[in-house]
Amino acid sequence: MRIILIGFGNLGKGLARIFVDKADFLRKTYGLVPHVVAVADERGAAMDENGLNLSKLLKVAEKKSVAAYEGGKRGKMALEVIEDMEADVVYELTPTNIKNGEPGFTHIKRAMLTGKHVITSNKGPLVVAFGELDSLARKCGVEFRYSASVGGAIPVINLARRLLAGNEIREVCGVLNGTTNYILTRMSTEGVPFEIVLREAQELGIAEKDPTLDIRGIDTACKITILANSILGIDAKLEHVKVTGIDRISSEAIRLAREAGQTIKLVGVARRGSLEVGPRLVPFGHPLAVGGTLNAVKFELDLAREITITGFGAGPQETSSSLLGDLIDIHRTLGG
């Protein structure tokens, strides 16, 4: 399969490493040989119609743009590469922008319009224009996969859409943001105040320098919007989600909860007629009472009743599990 990677940050590099490490496994198990023919970052692109040497490219990209690879080009090259290179699949792995979905939105549309299947982890375009992209994919006859956009490594969307397909999903709720879960877990287990845990989380690289989207619940609201669209079939927008963050949670509230055998979690809930994100009391031992940076998602279903899955919601290697799974799935769909 001929592949274009747009965005070569944590995930792009992580995925390239997995392509190298799992080359034999993919070929032997699925007959899948990923030929990465182009990689673009914000500063340039590397291209080779015969397939880039990913180990070399990863070395180059340790310090420089991918444009420094032999024959690479400088400048904003993503659209040019998507249009000009012959490829089966475009991975869109650029930063999430929830205002207008760009640059990912335009990248995805251009890929579909030029007949390429799309795999993305980028929440921006999905939150801004899920319906438009979903119908464009159908119109263009291409596959569109976004497993990594919610839950990182946890197969939330595929579990719901495939294995639970015979059920009516009454509600999906979950702990969907690792940063806030880490903060709340440490506040609960160690009694440390919010500001101190946040600062330490930033020092450890668990929280972003600007953690606003996480702690105000916006990141979780994005994921709830994507789940509402993709598995509940609701034409939901981010502004339809009622959001409360965790920035006002006091050590005292956490202590009182603890004394009552409960912990406080930032929980997103999607059901028909109501989309919400906010701090919720969760009893210790409840499936959503996961610790540290873990995520958990619980489905309420008419037949299976309740199913909860737990796992790592972020990280380059963990999220590659979903990004690679989407590729294998497209390969199988196309009869590979």
Ligand X SMILES: NC(=O)c1ccc[n+]([C@@H]2O[C@H](COP(=O)([O-])OP(=O)(O)OC[C@H]3O[C@@H](n4cnc5c(N)ncnc54)[C@H](OP(=O)(O)O)[C@@H]3O)[C@@H](O)[C@H]2O)c1
Give the residue numbers marked as catalytic.
Answer: 223
For ligand X, the nearest residue by Cβ is 9
Applying CB under 6 A, the span of 29-37, 51-59, 129-137, 311-319 interacting with ligand X comes to 311-319
Of residues 263 and 295, the one with the C-beta less far from ligand X: 295
CB 222, min distance to ligand X, A: 9
Quick one: which of 42, 80, 134, 300 contacts ligand X (CB under 6 A)? 42
Q: Which two tokens stand for residue 231?
A: 């598995």
User: Could you say whether residue 47 binds ligand X (CB under 6 A)?
Assistant: no
Applying CB under 6 A, the span of 134-142, 193-201, 249-257, 315-323 interacting with ligand X comes to 315-323
Quick one: which of 185, 188, 295, 319 contacts ligand X (CB under 6 A)? 319
Of residues 177 and 188, the one with the C-beta less far from ligand X: 177
User: Could you say whether residue 177 binds ligand X (CB under 6 A)?
Assistant: no
Return the H-helix or E-strand segment holding 225. helix 218-231
| Torsion angles phi and psi, residue 63, rounded to 5 | -120, -25
- Cα dihedral: 217, 207, 229, 154 (round 10): -130
Quick one: which of 8, 69, 182, 194 contacts ligand X (CB under 6 A)? 8
Q: Could you give the string, one character per residue 57-96, with x where binding to ligand X holds by CB under 6 A and - elsewhere?
A: --------x----------x-x--------------xxxx
What is the size of the binding site for ligand X (CB under 6 A)?
28
Q: How far is CA 152 from the centre of its chain?
A: 5
Of residues 221 and 249, the one with the C-beta less far from ligand X: 221
User: Could you say whether residue 326 binds ligand X (CB under 6 A)?
Assistant: no
| Torsion angles phi and psi, residue 271, rounded to 5 | -145, 165
- The CB density around residue 203, as the number of other CB atoms within 10 Å, is 9
From CA 142, how far away is CA 118, in angstroms rounded?
Answer: 8
Q: What is the residue whose two structure tokens read 């590659």?
A: 320
Quick one: which of 140, 270, 314, 327 contacts ligand X (CB under 6 A)? 314
Of residues 57 and 254, the one with the C-beta less far from ligand X: 57
CB 312, min distance to ligand X, A: 9
Of residues 98 and 236, the one with the C-beta less far from ligand X: 98
| DSSP assigned state of 149 | G
CB 131, min distance to ligand X, A: 20
From CA 66, how far away is CA 56, in angstroms rounded?
Answer: 10
From CA 44, how far away is CA 57, in angstroms rounded?
Answer: 13
CB 302, min distance to ligand X, A: 30
7 with 111: CB under 8 angstroms? Answer: no
Of residues 94 and 225, the one with the C-beta less far from ligand X: 94
From CA 97, how far away is CA 94, in angstroms rounded?
Answer: 9
* Residues in CB range of 255: below 8 A, 6 or more apart: 191
Query: Is 183 buried (19+), middle (13-18) or exposed (0-12) by CB count in 10 A?
Result: buried
Residues 105-124 binding ligand X (CB under 6 A) are: 121-123
Distances (CA, A) of 103 to 98, 99, 118, 323, 328: 11, 11, 15, 19, 26
CB 101, min distance to ligand X, A: 10
The DSSP result for 280-307, as a single string, is EEEETTSTT---TTEEEEEEEETTTEEE
Residue ranges that bind ligand X, judged by CB under 6 A: 6-12, 40-43, 65, 76, 78, 93-96, 103, 121-123, 148, 152, 314-316, 319
